[in-house]
Every structure is written in structure tokens, then in C-alpha cells.
Amino acid sequence: MIFTSQHLLSVKDISLEAIHSLFAVAEQMRPYANREKVTRVLEGAVLGNMFFEPSTRTRVSFGSAFNLLGGEVRETTGLSNSALAKGESLYDTAQVLSGYSDVIVMRHPEPYSVEQFATGSRVPVINGGDGANEHPTQALLDLFTIKNELSSLGKDIADLRLTLLGDLKHGRTVHSLCHLLSLYKGLKVQLVSPKALALPQKYIDMLTNAGHDVQTGDNLESGLSKANVIYQTRIQEERFSTKEEADQYKGYFRLNKQIYSQHCQPDTVIMHPLPRDSRGNANELDNDLNKEPGLAIFRQTDNGVLVRMALFACILGVENQLAAYERKVNWQVGVR
């Protein structure tokens, strides 16, 4: 298994073979995450969940994933009082912290900081997000969700007609997803964004070079009508260079029940990296979509637990031992 005892620092490190292995393990995690049974395969292991930049949901997702495998979690949140703020190098921090745990998840506001950190670590390091650079587990859970949603519609990744929608210029989740998609061939990808927030050319080239059919535009309707999966990201008005341009697109990429019903094919899957802004004036997914079966945003975060469990299991080399440490669930389980 390609991940064993290695770092996961970048989506660029991941082969298609590794993805398929990882996703097969993630599928095996479902009964444990759904509380049909318990595995204690990592009982006694310690995760260092080092969030030098706050991110409640990502931190708790990693921590829960480790707990669901039976392991313990030590963690930190925030940079201000840490030794890093006193001039300690990332190398030193890694040397010290890797003496306290079996695997480390690290999030840090500086691009490439996690890579630097990994040079000093004596245990595997997973990049939990390094500023504007990467957030590889988000890309993995996004791809896993695309495959799963298609599968539950009786389709395959080869059938993907993906529309990336919104601010495609700044979103690192979209960029990382492009990297993973470029491992496949012949997919249909539409890029729908305001001109000022278009996907950078290097990612367009990446998709094109992979042999994908890439269409670009700023027309929402046509973007929606051809897709079977929509991946929406937030547009923030301050991203535009002029107020006139911002006003021109105001509310234009907003998706609600009426627009979805009118323009999308039935069963079209809606994804979003979350959080979505649910305030009245937000350019986002409306709450009136909450009952739509196609709204996959919470299945997406649930999948994050599966993928992170699989990642820990593969990196620590226990993916074939899950059943050996299995127990029944003796408590009453909620509606999951």
C-alpha cells in the first residue's frame, strides 16, 4: 500500500492506484462510522492533531476519525502562544511533537509550512491545510463523494459531467480537485464563474492535457443544465476588482430550489466544501434545497470521516486488521 508510513503533503503525491486503494478502505470504514460495529484497531495509538490555524470542523473530523479507529487524540488549536511564535523552526517543532505521537495532522496558515514541518518529523505527517496552498484530504473526500454519488445513481466516474461553479480563481479545494481529476481521462468538466474569478490557466491546461472535455463560461443556466454533479464554491464580493463587476454578478451564482428545479436535470448532485453562508444576502446555496435528495453537502462531510479513517489506517498499515479488532455496538445509535 503506497501510503504506509509516508507523509501525505500534497495531492501531487497521490497516484490513481493509491486513490483506488484508499477509497476501497474508506468503503470498509462505513459500518464503523455508521455505528453498525466498532473497531479498536488503533487502541493505544496517539494522533497529534496540530492545528496552528483554527478550523473546528476539519480538526474534529480528523480527531473523530482517529477515535473511531480506537486511538487517542492530543491536539492544539491556534498559533499565538506556541513556540513557533517565539522563533522556533518548523523543523524543531516537528522533532519535538513527533516524539509525542504516532502520526501528526498539521494545519498551518503558511503555504508549504507542512512540507517543511515534515522534514523534522519522525512520524508520518498529514497536511490538514497549509494556507492558500493545499488541503489534500478535502480534495480526496470531494473525489470520493463524486464517485459515490455517481455510483448511487448507477453511474461511474467515466460518466461524470462536472460543473465547477463560483469563485474558481481562489478556492484551493477546486484547484486540488483539478489535480486529482487530471489522473482520470475523458471526463466532461464545465467551468462556470465570473470572468474575474475564472480558473487559472494552469489548471485549465492540467484538465485539458488529461484529455478532459473542458468548457468555460459565465452562464449559470447552461452550466447547470448539462451537469450531473455541481461543485459550488462561495463568491465573495470583495474578490472583484470593481464594484460594478461585483454588482453585475450579484446573486447570479446563487443556487436555490427554483433555479435547481428549472435548470438542472433530475438527481443532479450538489456539492460544496462548506461552510455555506446561510445569511439572507449570501451568494450561496439556499436552505430551501435542504430536502433535495441531490443535495450531497452533508454526505460530503460524512465522507470526510471515512476518507480520514482510511488514510490513518493505510498510513499506519492496519487496513487489513479492522475486523480483527471488531466489537459490537452496545449503545443505541441515532438516525445516521
Q: Is 329 in the site for a copy of itself (CB under 8 A)?
A: yes
Q: Is 201 in the site for a copy of itself (CB under 8 A)?
A: no
Q: Is 54 in the site for a copy of itself (CB under 8 A)?
A: yes
Report DSSP state, residue 285: B
Cα 304 to Cα 313: distance, rounded to the nearest angstrom = 14
Contact segment (CB under 8 A) with a copy of itself among 204-212, 220-228, 252-260, 326-334 equals 326-334
Q: Is 124 in the site for a copy of itself (CB under 8 A)?
A: yes
Question: In the bound complex, what is the minimum distance in angstroms from residue 226's beta carbon to a copy of itself?
Answer: 28
b/e sequence 51-60, b meaning 16+ C-beta within 10 Å: bbbeeeebbe
Letter for the amino acid at 316?
Answer: L
Pairing of strands 326-328, 37-39: antiparallel
Q: Is 137 in the site for a copy of itself (CB under 8 A)?
A: no
Residues 12-41 vs a copy of itself: string with x where CB under 8 A?
-----------------------x--x-xx
- Longest Cα–Cα distance in the chain: 62
Between 41 and 178, CB nearer to a copy of itself: 41
Cα 37 to Cα 261: distance, rounded to the nearest angstrom = 39
* Near a copy of itself in 60-119, by CB under 8 A: 60-61, 63-64, 67-68, 70, 72-74, 76, 78, 81-83, 86-89, 91-93, 95-103
Cα distances (angstroms) measured from residue 117 to each of 51, 138, 312: 13, 20, 19
Question: In the bound complex, what is the minimum distance in angstroms from residue 276's beta carbon to a copy of itself?
Answer: 6
* Near a copy of itself in 269-288, by CB under 8 A: 274-279, 282, 287
Burial grade of 245 (CB within 10 A; 0-12, 13-18, 19 or more): middle
Is 124 within 8 Å of 103 (Cβ atoms)?
A: yes
Give the torsion sign (CA, 94, 311, 64, 142).
Answer: positive
Q: Is 333 in the site for a copy of itself (CB under 8 A)?
A: yes
Between 20 and 57, CB nearer to a copy of itself: 57
Q: Is 245 in the site for a copy of itself (CB under 8 A)?
A: no
Q: Is 238 in the site for a copy of itself (CB under 8 A)?
A: no
Question: In the bound complex, what is the minimum distance in angstroms from residue 318's beta carbon to a copy of itself?
Answer: 5
